[in-house]
Amino acid sequence: MPGKVDSARKLVGRPLTLSEKILYSHLSLPAGTAYNRGVDYVDFAPDRVAMQDATAQMALLQFMTCGRDKVAVPSTVHCDHLIQAKTGAVQDLATALDTNKEVYDFLASISNKFGIGFWKAGAGIIHQVVLENYAFPGGMMIGTDSHTPNAGGLGMVAIGVGGADAVDVMAGLPWELKMPKLIGVKLTGKMSGWTSAKDVILWVAGQLTVKGGTGAIVEYFGEGADNISATGKGTICNMGAEIGATCSIFAYDDKMAAYLKSTGRTEVAELADGIREHLRPDADVYTNPEKYYDQVLELNLDTLEPYVNGPFTPDLATPVSEMKAAVEKNGWPSKLEVALIGSCTNSSYEDISRSASIVKDAVSKGLKANSEFTITPGSELVRFTIERDGFIRQFEEVGGVVLANACGPCIGQWARHIDDPNRKNTIITSFNRNFAKRNDGLASTHAFVASPEIVTAMAIAGTISFNPLTDTLTNDKGEKVKLSEPSGFELPPKGFAVEDAGYQAPAADGKGINVLVSPDSKRLQLLEPFAAWEGNDLKGLKLLIKAKGKCTTDHISMAGPWLKFRGHLDNISNNMLIGAINFYNEKTDTVKNQLTGEYGAVPATARAYKAAGIGSIVVGDENYGEGSSREHAAMEPRHLGVRAILVRSFARIHETNLKKQGMLGLTFADKSDYDKVQEDDSIDIVGLTSFTPGKPLTVVLNHKDGSKDEISVNHTYNEQQIEWFKAGGALNVIRSQVAK
Ligand code: SF4
């Protein structure tokens, strides 16, 4: 890294921020020029990949087809998203092991075969496990989950991506990212009392809003940053996802060294100590931050008070001292029904020990919890250690229920017991997201987010109007008592301990290992490589749908109940484009089958063309495929015989995903040509035999009345991407390279 940082500094011609040092050290090819932030697309070579169990399924099914024996970079799978919280850790985990057996067996076997570390159900939540085991200062990681940036707490550029990106990196392809802009957050002072790391990000979210970090890395610096524990830094970076940031990061310091040592990575800490100056911004960045960051915020931790954010959005930030008035003014239900601490965001030993101190203090003063109270440990390492140290017993004394080491209520995997699902009600969590319905699926639930300390105090009070800094509570003797300030330990004084962390190391040689997928499975299906291009122009494609207006990846491949099929391409393809509006009748999921003249569902119509050996084409409007990077939105049309997507404009990630799947993604050279496409058109794509970067293709619209329109269409394929098209997909190219 030091050599790469020095040459990057020369190239850029000025001192560097930490993010720049890490980004330039991870270019997949040496840079010829400095890159423009927010403009240039750059190829990177990340050090690691982490996948959660829901997104890993399709990523690994695709990876299997690339022909490699092993993943190209260290990778791990974490079984955390599929466990439903209902009664408590033991029973809920047993139920999940039964319900999700085929998915877990598949993930365990494919991980074993291809050199991937496998963390079993109950081992913990992806980001906590990564922080404890894999994150390291100066590294770059991608993860198939939006809170991957949690690893920024250990000085890593860690970015949440879609499965298609993970497939690329595991297969050995470069990974493309628009050079991020940089937002600097200067922290001065030191937190005390009821304030904790969570309040830093709750404040930042209030300042920047849910979109303010888009396309940017948020870099925290200043002496205040060095005063925050490594896990506290992780909390702040984790929730950077709530402001849309690419990722967030802190510079290497003594707190990180201490955490690395306490989690068995003394060697990593020593290596980092040896190159400490390269793992921190250059000196002038500290003195003149506005010269280096696109935007700078400053926060004095001495004056920061706890915040409560929500409901329904994480950027509605209210200082705890103003909550009572805000509750009255907005008519939010003040009575707290459920308080939930833990999750990947806030379940460190520090969080738990400080929350436990509040509970212990409350019990000693004759108080108990006045709402339901749940605790979700982020990993078995944390759970075992906090049990050994007596904290779980303390939570249970006030009626706390310990849930499995898993996502549970954070991702809606929560069988909540509520008398009337339509009743306006309030919950508060120390999680990160609080959009309507996220936790329990109920639109009536007002979900707030705060630090574990504030959530615990409110659980005792039974109301979100309670300010523990100033208010008193009445105990079982009728006396007015005040909660003491929380206290705890950044790291366990007796060290971390665990009996079975829940890890399965991969086989040294996976050749003889079978990937377990039942042929009758409804949730999993092995993939066949897509067919290569036939070598001719595409003639007589039937118009499947001319989508009108917004067509996001949700319109193309809906989530919700369909997610259970995310590992089964044929089954999930039954949601293809069912949310898109048909231009000709303004209806969703109702298109004309040109073979029969009848109207039917989009997937069924595509299947009819495919069965008849006829290709089809989708026409779309502006920014087609915006939204998530969900690869199913590109794989489903490919699977159902769609050969090309022709639109006014593409969302870039979706366009790239189409290219990776061997599809043609084309744009009207003249956007008004969208209007020339008619419902009964048969469409030819001409010029493919001389498909060249920068050279437009021709599309012939053969109308039902015998007339034709010939229009010019553009594309953005480079040489490599044209090879993907010809081979039938990027993974087919890799497979043929591996076979050589
Ligand atoms: S705990 Fe919540 S935020 Fe964290 S990985 Fe799970 S679902 Fe995502």
Q: What is the pLDDT of residues 470-496, one digit of tens each?
A: 999 999 999 999 999 999 999 999 999
What's the pLDDT band for 47 if we cut at 50, 70, 90? very high
Helices (H), 313-470: 323-330, 349-364, 380-388, 391-397, 452-461
pTM: 0.92
Q: What percent of the chain has pLDDT over 70?
A: 100
**Can you point out the beta strands (E) in 123-215?**
140-143, 157-160, 175-178, 181-188
Q: What is the average per-residue pLDDT within 337-350? A: 97
**Three-point CA angle 606, 612, 618, nearest 5°:** 30
Q: What is the average per-residue pLDDT within 404-431? A: 94
User: Of residues 157 and 626, which shows the higher confidence score?
Assistant: 157
* Residue type for position 181: K
Q: Which atom of ligand 1 is nearest to the CA of 146?
A: 8
> What is the rounded CA–CA span in Å between residue 19 and residue 138?
9
Q: Is 629 labeled as catalytic in the residue annotation?
A: no
pLDDT value for 558: 87
Q: Is 433 labeled as catalytic in the residue annotation?
A: yes
Beta-bridge mates of residue 399? none
Please measure the distance between the N-terminal and C-terminal CA atoms of the chain and give it in whole angstroms.
32
pLDDT value for 26: 97
What's the pLDDT band for 60 if we cut at 50, 70, 90? very high
Q: Which atom of ligand 1 is nearest to the CA of 126?
A: 5
* Residue 82 Cβ < 6 Å to ligand 1: no
- Whether the predicted pLDDT of 560 surpasses 80: no
What's the pLDDT band for 563 if we cut at 50, 70, 90? confident
**Residue 639 CA, ligand 1 centroid: distance in Å:** 31
**Residue 343 CA, ligand 1 centroid: distance in Å:** 6
Q: What percent of the chain has pLDDT over 90?
A: 93
pLDDT value for 626: 87
What's the pLDDT band for 28 if we cut at 50, 70, 90? very high
pLDDT value for 641: 98
Q: What is the average per-residue pLDDT within 120-131? A: 98
* Residue 730 Cβ < 6 Å to ligand 1: no
pLDDT value for 722: 97
* Residue 410 Cβ < 6 Å to ligand 1: yes
Q: Is 145 labeled as catalytic in the residue annotation?
A: yes
When the pLDDT of each residue in the chain is averaged and rounded to a whole number, the result is 96
Among 49-53, 118-122, 437-441, 528-532, the minimum mean pLDDT is found in 437-441
- 610's enclosing H/E stretch is helix 602-611
**Can you point out the beta strands (E) in 377-496?**
401-402, 425-429, 445-449, 473-474, 480-481
Q: What is the average per-residue pLDDT within 257-278? A: 98
Catalytic residue among 433, 438, 523, 555: 433
**324 conformational bin, left if phi > 0, alpha if psi -120 to 50, beta if neither:** alpha
pLDDT value for 674: 98
Q: In this predicted model, what pLDDT tens digit does every residue of 647-706 receive, in sequence order? A: 999 988 899 999 999 999 999 999 999 999 999 999 999 999 999 999 999 999 999 999
Query: Which of 79, 147, 376, 431 to probe ligand 1 with, by most ligand atoms within 8 A of CB?
Result: 147
User: Of residues 54 and 712, which shows the higher confidence score?
Assistant: 712
Question: Token pair of 433, please?
Answer: 């997201």
